[in-house]
Amino acid sequence: MTVKLYLESIEAAYARTFDAQVVAIDGNSIVLDRTLFYPLGGGQYWDTGVLSGPNGDINVQEVRGRGDVQHTVETEHQLVVGDEVRGTVDWDTRYAHMRMHTAQHLMSGIAYELFNGVRTVGNQIHAEKSRIDFNPISFDEAMMERLVDVVNGHINTGLKVSDSVMTREEINTIMPPDRTNMNLLPASVRDLRVVQIGDQVDLCPCAGTHVSNTSELGRVELIGKKSKGKGTQRLSYHLLTPSFVRSPSSKIV
């Protein structure tokens, strides 16, 4: 099981450089004992970057896996099990994913509040644009405008984003299980990492990377609406550059 350094706290996601050891190799797939690279999951796409080993730099092209994290690198590599490597995550992509993911939580939570408990039934977090599938809903222009206005209002307030560990029961007493999609989580998992925006403006179990304050999001702009059938509609959005951006931590973890 790879230690997921990006998950240790909200702040941990601001680190981009780490030292690790190669513990397994299968062709061009590398497993490390610890990693800052986020693997595909929860709708969020993987981080890219570089592994620097004894024989030079290798690009990380794809990252997958929830237990052992598989870093897919260029085929031409000379790494062997036991090698020490220094990993560096591509910050622009990482930070874009953090901003997009926190914006998704806010939009999903606010939509639930505004539109009769509408659920988020899917999402895709990418660096340039992201999307959320809502059900049941039929958005008109006024509804979309209202959603974006309320979300951008919270962004402008500069709400703190925090994380903690809670039991399912604790989460269910704060937020309706429909809103947090509690039914999608395996019943065997008791303690969950939750990400909270402001003072319970939103609270949701999540293993993704997030910003530390909503002021880092910029402004949400909707760029598309699409019907996906059976009462599901997909909203696509992007984020305009915020006035406040954070730099990555220079610390090597």
Enumerate binding residues for Zn ion (CB under 5 A). Answer: 206, 208
The residue sitting closest to Zn ion, measured at its beta carbon, is 206
Query: Integer distance in angstroms from the first to the last C-alpha of the chain?
Result: 18
By beta-carbon proximity to Zn ion, the closer residue of 66 and 251 is 66
We find the least distance from the C-beta atom of residue 233 to Zn ion, in angstroms, to be 20
Cβ atoms 134, 118 nearer than 8 A: yes
By beta-carbon proximity to Zn ion, the closer residue of 10 and 73 is 10
Respond yes or no on whether the N-terminal peptide bond of residue 242 is cis (omega within 30° of 0).
no
Element (H, E) at 149: helix 141-157
We find the least distance from the C-beta atom of residue 135 to Zn ion, in angstroms, to be 18
By beta-carbon proximity to Zn ion, the closer residue of 159 and 206 is 206
By beta-carbon proximity to Zn ion, the closer residue of 206 and 211 is 206
We find the least distance from the C-beta atom of residue 42 to Zn ion, in angstroms, to be 5
We find the least distance from the C-beta atom of residue 23 to Zn ion, in angstroms, to be 28
Question: Where do the DSSP E strands lie in 54-144?
Answer: 56-64, 70-73, 84-89, 119-124, 130-135
Q: What CA–CA distance (Å, rounded) separates 21 from 29?
A: 14
Which of 60, 62, 64 has its CA nearest to residue 40?
64
